[in-house]
Chain A
């Protein structure tokens, strides 16, 4: 099947029910998208499909044929994603960093649809788990992004 990922077309041979996550990681070598739980519980595998954040571990690859998939590898090609990364660095969000690809993708998805989210909207969208407890740093970075867009 043909997949469109980060603006490029890829031919992959995968069974229809294979999770997008493992096609990205093992077939295409895009290992920035992480495996954490395989059960849509943690969000480490978050990617964008047609601009909407989805959890790649529970996305059968057949369902994204003909749709536009964006992963962390191309995050800085997106103007919103670039700002998110800058804020993540500025606020020194990452600790172990394992969940942060997913956090950055979730943040980008929110800001693409809602450039000036309220605190409630931030809290509602930023639900991925982080075992290192970077939640406050994430919130600070998101708050700054929301304010920055307003300014």
Chain B
């Protein structure tokens, strides 16, 4: 999900070789155009200064007569809580209780490009941390306008006015006017110079940093929340598709088109690139009819624009192939002299790890609704993480000007990185083509089976580790060479000038003081189309690294918790974090030990530094019927500073669930070029019975604000694996653990 910075490698037409970390730190501002020559519509954000961005108050805010505030959020709500966070941040400075906010997604447009890296996306756990100062200032600007309007209405000097939540107050007379009565006048005023504003002292925050209730909790508990799949418009038809069994194949012909056209409720039958579609009065009719279509699928042509899936592709064999692939490797991180240190070290350790492909498996199946209006304009409803990119892509596909396209971004029924602009995995091009063809609005829903057939996959890697221990058993040199393809380079279709950071993050960027190290990638272009999956490269690489680190501890006769403390001895932030998670768990206790219920258990520890935040996890496991049972996860997380501790705690729970899911049960298996699973029956995701208790400690170190959606995920798998190794003596070097049997 940490997507766009890597794609946006060019600034004003010239190459800028920014590392991702620097990019995320906000050093790059300016016109962004495509890197990698991608056919993706990254918005060309006009060069804009911080002062101009996020200051167009009327574009964001509508204060209604009843005092409720409608806020258009630049960021999409998919459960991770930005709508509530935006209301807290804006409300704090506007002086309106966040509970009085109604938040919706903002349309595409430069007004909403509020991130400090000059972009507007929801991803990379960036929403709050990259827009925090701007959104605060937005609230303050609006408050200043209300005060000005109040001064004019009351005929008193501005200096005599103040606010209480939702109200302008004349401090000397006590007269007050609700915001709702001033809004009309205020929004017509010029936006003040932002430099004249004084922001609220954080010590007086009422809502920022507090466990404010989610704004969407009630609607989501009563079925009122509307997702893309729920939206209807007048005169709308429904559509379903049958995709080619393998990506890249095309429609040769239909054997029974006439019969299918005659089926109950069917409006029309259509051939699309790599798919056939049925439009019907009801989706159920469309779905059944399209399944009945007998299609002669043709093998992909040589020049296919999508990555053609070979008929003999096997995910298991592909992992073996990666493991057997030798160099050439490109270095991502280098320090000291790894080779020489290894050569002369008294103890050497080697191990090879790999992971599995994963699906996003968000609960809401993909859908899109398209309507051509009589004036030639096009309206599209679609789940997305980046409205400007999608609108520009639609413009490119339809030949319409961006101004003729209205893009609606509904609530997302699951996020996880699924809603990026994946060329081969989005339904909206089909919905638009069908709406055009039938001359009526069309809502297209991909059945769960069609979604599993086209979803892009979390990448796989095999990593070969070599390390050296000194005479005291301390690690002094470490090398990790990963044979893999990252999602960004997969979307680009080729390797970039620089290493794709999303391929190696989690192997690179580790904070441990190991003097000699080398982190490198052997780029192996794969047959499967890849995408971003919650915590991206960290989701696999921290499993590899932190598991191997425990192997080094064991080899050197060190306790893995103590070893980490030693390797972080000059890093007070992480030392504190690690100690905090130890404390949270009641004191580090590795085991094995016998629990109260008589089961044998052990604990493992792991850390990760993803998306600007720091995380440390301790897991407690036992073995039940040959499989791993995770009882407790303790997680200490330091995002620097926070906006909503309650939402953070829920996000940690969610990330732990997904982390456990990939650790214990999940894998996307391909056989003969086809996914074995086309539904949750053969693609199990973590069920409630396998969820662990989760204990969270949030640490506000005061460091620059980091992300929250993804950072709690990566350390889960290695903490579990390390606990399992301690309990069973069996070191798991691949996931998921359902492939292994334990005793």
Direct touching of A and B (C-beta under 8 Å): yes
User: What is A's interface to B at a CB cutoff of 8 Å?
Assistant: 15, 18-19, 22, 25-27, 29, 31-39, 41-42, 44, 71-73, 75-76, 85, 88-89, 92-101, 104, 123, 126-139
**What is the 8 Å Cβ interface bit string for chain B, positions 261-286, against chain A (1 contact, 0 not)?**
00010000000000000000011100
B415 & A39 in contact (Cβ 8 Å cutoff): no
B655 & A131 in contact (Cβ 8 Å cutoff): no
Tell me, in angstroms, the Cα distance from A25 to B282 when the chains sit together: 10
Residue among A31, A88, A98 facing the most chain B CB atoms (10 A cut-off): A98
Q: Which of A27, A35, A96, A134 makes the CB contact (< 8 A) with B653?
A: A134
How near does chain B come to A88, taking the closest CB pair, in angstroms? 4
B130 at the interface (CB under 8 A from A): no
Tell me, in angstroms, the Cα distance from A72 to B224 when the chains sit together: 9
Tell me, in angstroms, the Cα distance from A99 to B226 when the chains sit together: 13
User: What is B's interface to A at a CB cutoff of 8 Å?
Assistant: 78-81, 213-214, 216-227, 229-230, 232, 238, 264, 282-284, 361-365, 411-416, 445, 447-448, 646-647, 650-651, 653-658, 661, 679-681, 685-689, 691, 693-694
B264 & A15 in contact (Cβ 8 Å cutoff): yes
Q: Which residues of B contact A31 (CB under 8 A)?
A: 223, 226, 229-230, 232
Known A41-B679, A96-B362, A131-B361; 9 more pairs at CB < 8 Å: A18-B284, A71-B223, A95-B79, A96-B411, A96-B412, A97-B225, A135-B688, A136-B691, A136-B693
A136 & B221 in contact (Cβ 8 Å cutoff): no
A95: nearest residue on chain B (CB-CB)? B79
Q: Which of A26, A37, A92 makes the CB contact (< 8 A) with B282?
A: A26
Q: Which residues of B contact A89 (CB under 8 A)?
A: 213, 217-218, 221
Q: Give the number of residue pairs across the A-B interface with Cβ within 8 Å.
A: 170
How near does chain A come to B558, taking the closest CB pair, in angstroms? 33
Q: A129-B685, A132-B414 are in contact. Are A94 and B214 (CB under 8 A)?
A: yes
**14 residue pairs bridging A and B, Cβ less than 8 Å apart:** A22-B284, A36-B363, A37-B448, A37-B680, A41-B680, A85-B218, A94-B220, A95-B80, A96-B413, A100-B221, A123-B689, A127-B687, A130-B363, A132-B79
A36 & B364 in contact (Cβ 8 Å cutoff): yes
How near does chain A come to B260, taking the closest CB pair, in angstroms? 16
Q: Which residues of B contact A75 (CB under 8 A)?
A: 222-223
A30: nearest residue on chain B (CB-CB)? B223
Q: A85-B218, A94-B217, A97-B216 are in contact. Are A134 and B448 (CB under 8 A)?
A: no
Q: Which residues of B contact A19 (CB under 8 A)?
A: 284
Tell me, in angstroms, the Cα distance from A72 to B216 when the chains sit together: 16
Q: Which residues of A contact B689 (CB under 8 A)?
A: 123, 127
Q: Which residues of A contact B654 (CB under 8 A)?
A: 95, 132-134
Q: Which residues of B contact A38 (CB under 8 A)?
A: 447-448, 679
Q: Which residues of A contact B224 (CB under 8 A)?
A: 32
B655 & A129 in contact (Cβ 8 Å cutoff): no
